Amino acid sequence: MSTTTPVIDRLRARIGVDGAPVTAAVEAGHVSRFAAAIGDPNPRWTKEAPPTFLVALAPVALHLAEAEEYGKGWLNGGNRFEYFTPVLIGDHITATGQVADVYEKSGSTGNLLFIIFETRYVNQDGVVVAKLRGTMIRR
């Protein structure tokens, strides 16, 4: 039995459990600064937010202390968004994240821990505007 098995088992127990929700208002000035920072002058961003703005607006922090016991550093394995409706200036967005999967793989430098997380973004009317699925890797 691997010494990392108890860590992985504790992380797997978190699958499907919602983290603390984060709510934030979509403000015109914040959207404008974000659009300038990504170099996108599209006038569309005076009424709605660019797609990746959600991560800057309401970052979800799922602190997984158990994962800190595994390895020495983090890698970002990528993010994938699914959009359902535009996020408009004036909206109030609530982001709720959860662990979706946890698994281990062998890599060239040793074992790697993969944590798949999902974040759901909902507006003030209860409408899901987007979902984010991301991968964090602990080495």
Q: pTM for the complete prediction?
A: 0.87
What percentage of the chain exceeds 70 in pLDDT?
96
Indicate whether 120 pLDDT > 50: yes
CA atoms within 13 A on the CB side of 21: 10
Residue-wise pLDDT for 21-71, tens only, equals 999 999 999 999 999 999 999 999 999 999 889 989 988 767 788 888 888
Phi, psi angle pair for 116, to nearest 5°: -100, 130
Indicate whether 117 pLDDT > 70: yes
pLDDT of 2 reads: 55
Residue-range domain boundaries for the chain: 5-138
Superfamily of domain 5-138: Hotdog Thioesterase (3.10.129.10)
